[in-house]
Amino acid sequence: MKFFILGICFLFQATYTLLVAQSTVPESSSLSPALPTPSAAMQSVEYRSKQPNVFKPHTIGFGISTTDGDASTGKQSFMLSALYSYSFSPALDLELSFQQMSMSKMYGTFLVVSSAFTPDLTLLFKPFPLASRFRLGLGSAVRWQKSAVTYSGSLFDPITNTYTERLELNLQDTFAVGGTLKLEYLFPLLSNLDVSIRAQLHIYAPPILGDNIHAPGGSIGGAASLGAFFLIHW
């Protein structure tokens, strides 16, 4: 409806401009093409300046992914994501996102429960002009992981010939820095709403704080994920 009204206004403006131009041309030059007067040209420029701007630089998004990596110790887990991005152009975005995942796993008599938080800053761009729905992202990431390791067992006392139940709890914080790679394909739904399929890869150097109990020996850590996102633009 909005574009229909704008179309009628445009036709009215064009007709009015043509009539004004013809009324200002002398009869001796009636065969010459009509030229718009300065006032008509100014009115035309003013009309174009009022056209809506379809470029929406701000975006917020939410997503859920299935992920696997050192933090989940080979056990698939769900990762929740929230993001904000600013578009410098239709082909270049800067995105700040936050990911969170939790897991629990038994190692014999040890139970490990952990929650990992992964913020990252990513530059997203469209490398292929003919595939405008495909985006590639490269950026930096950090990970803070909180782990609780519990041990339950029994100790035998040969003197009393009895068993004593034993429970230990160890809390650990781990902080690591790394990078991220993102591949995304957009499915436009509305003028300000997209749904996307996003694959993410996060790689981390050995922790600068704490020990990565899920990747011992000072090795690097990381996770890969695949999920769906809702993106709202304004």
Query: In 129-141, which positions are buried (b, 16+ CB within 10 angstroms) versus exposed (e)?
Result: eeeeeebebebeb
Cβ atoms of 117 and 98 closer than 8 Å: yes
Helices (H), 27-164: 38-49
Token couple for 230? 């809702």
The confidence band for 213, taking pLDDT boundaries of 50, 70 and 90, is low
Please give the domain boundaries of the chain with CATH numbers for all domains.
2-49 (no CATH), 58-233 (2.40.160.20)
Q: Are the CB atoms for 178 and 138 separated by under 8 Å? A: no
Write down the pLDDT at residue 19. Answer: 43
% of the chain exceeding 70 in pLDDT: 67
**Per-residue pLDDT reduced to its tens digit, 146-181:** 888 777 766 666 777 776 666 677 788 889 999 999
Q: Which of 103, 37, 79, 92 is CA-nearest to residue 200?
A: 79
